[in-house]
Amino acid sequence: MGRLASVDVCSGAGGLALGLEFAGFDPVLLLDNKPIACETLRRNRPSWNVLELDLLDFDPIEHSEAYDVDLLSAGLPRVRSSATTKRAETGLELRLLKATVLLAHAVQPKALLIENVPELVSVSEFKEVRSYIQDELSHLGYRFHWFVLNAADFGVPQDRKQGFLVALKDRFYDRFHPPAPTVTKHVTVGEALLPSMSSRGWTGATEWATQATRVAPTLVGGSDKRGGADLGPSGTKKLWAQMGINGSALSDEVPGPDGIQESDMSDSPLKKLTVEQAAVLQSFPKDWGFAGKKTARYRQIGHASPPPVGKALGAAIAKALQG
């Protein structure tokens, strides 16, 4: 089978687009409004057509390459429930979701993939959002699959549940099936990070790994407007501490032979993760680099969709489109 064409919006650091590329989709256009994310995309894939522009300002008439692609994909900022958005119809997350739906009107892809919070799939508070999407696209011949996947089921060492909509033109609908798990045993934090934890000769790395026996909590990128890089709210930090990890900040280096991380001034016996280790927990390839300083790089990683999930979704969509 030949390769397929896609348009990817709100691309971020490229996790979803990269996974789709692994599954046979070549993007004719990628769109993001953050300069640092666009730099990351261009560094890793110089051949990709990356447009630094807000989705709300994107006019497909000026980009004819976007028309009639096989797939329109979007890893959108997390939407809030209708009860929340009623307080301010100008909520950015909802506006971006609606802009994606309207873009599907213009682009007319064979399939549409939207990634968001798992609650979007079935929780009653999001009924209005689901109805809006279906009302807007049903008359164009799309039918809808709503489902939730956990990245841990696809070899990602992280408990990361994601909600998905895959809308396909009617003739492809029955051929699509949500991807089944690709692993029978979840990869633990200890298994995923032992190579890096021991890379500077830390003598306690193996002992540390034997008690880091669960998948990681969901990585969160946090707000671009405030704060530094940490691994999540207080409850999440407690889970990290149980695995010997200090979730309050990141380190510039992995432990040395005596377990010391030179940039860690916390006096905590817990180890801090590096940005590169966070990328491992999102299952980015080792050669996928991230632009910017430490906090900016971590936020790109935390906001991303793990590439193995995108690969599994892409394979399922490609199978439906190609018969």
Return the beta strands (E) in the chain as ranges: 4-9, 25-32, 50-52, 71-75, 111-116, 142-150, 161-169
pLDDT tens digit string along 106-129? 999 999 999 999 999 999 999 999
- How far apart (Å, rounded) are the C-alpha atoms in residues 60 and 46? 22
Q: How confident is the model at residue 29 (pLDDT cuts 50, 70, 90)?
A: very high
44 & 106 share domain: yes
168 & 243 share domain: no
237 & 267 share domain: yes
87 & 132 share domain: yes
Contacts 24+ apart (CB under 8 A), 258-265: 258/202, 258/203, 259/202, 259/203, 259/204
Count of the separate structural domains present in the chain? 2
Under 8 Å between Cβ of 229 and 292: no
270 & 253 share domain: yes
Average pLDDT over residues 166-179: 98
**Residue of higher predicted confidence among 175 and 220:** 175
pLDDT at 224: 67
44 & 173 share domain: yes
pLDDT at 82: 52
Q: pTM for the whole thing?
A: 0.94
φ/ψ (deg, to 5) at 128? -65, -40
φ/ψ (deg, to 5) at 51? -110, 120
279 & 176 share domain: no
Which residues, 6 or more positions from 106, have their beta carbon under 8 angstroms from its beta carbon?
60, 61, 67
175 & 247 share domain: no
56 & 175 share domain: yes
pLDDT at 95: 94
153 & 23 share domain: yes
Across the chain, mean pLDDT equals: 94
pLDDT at 208: 98
- How far apart (Å, rounded) are the C-alpha atoms in residues 284 and 307? 6
Which residues, 6 or more positions from 108, have their beta carbon under 8 angstroms from its beta carbon?
67, 68, 140
**Residue 142's domain is classified under what CATH number?**
3.40.50.150
pLDDT at 20: 98
195 & 282 share domain: yes
Q: Is the pLDDT confidence value at 223 over 70?
A: no
pLDDT at 79: 86
Q: Which residues constitute the domain of residue 255?
A: 189-301
21 & 158 share domain: yes
